[in-house]
Amino acid sequence: MIQTVLGKIRPEDLGVCSVHEHLSIDLSRIKKDPDTVLDDEPGMLEELADFHGEGGRAMVEVTNDGMGRDVLRLKRLSEKSGVHIIACTGFYKDPFIPEYAQNWTAAQFAEHFIKEATEGIDGTGIFPGVIGEVGTSKNEIKPIERELLIGAALAGKETGLPVTTHTTLGTLGYEQVQLLTAQGLATDQIIIGHQDLNPNFDEVLAVLETGVYIDFDTIGKNNYRPDAERVEFLLEFIQRDFEKQILLSADLTRKSHWKKHGGPGYGLVLRDFIPQLKAKGVRQETIDLFLISNPARAFTIKERS
């Protein structure tokens, strides 16, 4: 089953899924920029309606404690929009880890994530469906981030929840896989984030060759990397038979990303990017893997012996 904010659903009921998003977020404590605060709940519903209108049926919301997580809001949004929403347990990366957890060991991180996964989040009765987004810095795994990732792996192994990561500008994806699997976490529970931001083809290929899922999840952020380059990488990965390990999303984190503020909105992958893939000859069954089948497998809670 897949755990959403409204309860468990069957994998076949997930539908078209955006696998790495933020609806309600506040990064202003660190970024000192009001654009990084999403707190307009009616606006969130408008944006979800646009996503739904483009064919979107599910969203993985990876805003965790320290980034402004609000699972009661996510529950209201899911009830009103008809979009399945998967919430998370986890912490982001340095310096976004909450003050109370900044000196935790891997065992303490694991205990916290397992508690939320088994007892619910903050007494709300809402359960996380993923551990994440847990991250590392650019070309560096800081000591606290190492403990965090190990803790996430231990919690994933205990609960069967998938672990989804943040790689800063796509760096250290392979190293993240090695760290997670060294704790016994299975590759089919690992989703390495932001791999579309890494222009080094061989590095991304090395991540795929481990058997984990990867996110092409900053689609539309052409200021980081042109979508045309994302398309070329995907075409090559399809050619090499990795299409069952690829997930798509847009990772919107700013007011200026929303349609109501002149941005593309959460429907941009479906509206703008999928036609680019089709124009290059990508078949509908492959697109359905990226949007439907792969997310359904990736976010199904695993039963581990």
- Token digits for 205? 């290929």
pLDDT for position 304: 66
Assess contact for 180 and 164: CB atoms under 8 A.
no
pLDDT, position 204: 98
Burial of residue 97 (CB within 10 Å: 0-12, 13-18, 19+) is: buried
The stretch 127-156 carries a mean pLDDT of 98
pLDDT at 6: 98
Answer whether residue 305 shows pLDDT above 90.
Answer: no
pLDDT cut 90: percent of the chain above it: 99
Residues 250, 21: contact at Cβ < 8 Å?
Answer: yes
pLDDT in tens, 227-252: 999 999 999 999 999 999 999 999 99
- The 10s digit of each residue's pLDDT in 19-30 is 999 999 999 999
**Residues 59, 60, 63: CA angle, nearest 5 degrees:** 125
Sequence length of the chain is 305
pLDDT of residue 303: 84
Q: How far apart are the first and last CA of the chain?
A: 17
**104, 131, 100: which is closest to 117 by C-alpha?**
131
Q: What is the pLDDT of residues 259-278, one digit of tens each?
A: 999 999 999 999 999 999 99
* 3-state SS, residue 166: strand
- What number is the average pLDDT over the span 51-64? 98
pLDDT above 80 (res 68): yes
* Closest by CA position to 190, among listed 171, 205, 207: 207
pLDDT for position 91: 98
Report d(CA 274, CA 282) in Å as an integer.
9
What's the rounded Cα separation, in Å, for the pair 235 and 2?
29
pLDDT of residue 245: 98
Task: Please check the confidence at residue 221 and state whether its pLDDT lies above 80.
Answer: yes
Is the Cα dihedral 134, 189, 13, 305 positive or negative? negative
Mean pLDDT of 65-85: 98
Instruction: Give the C-alpha separation, 61 to 19, whole Å.
Output: 8
Mean pLDDT of the chain: 97
- The full set of domains in the chain, from first to last, is 2-298 (3.20.20.140)
The closest alpha carbon to 194, from 156, 137, 110, belongs to 137
The model's pTM: 0.98
Amino acid at 104: W
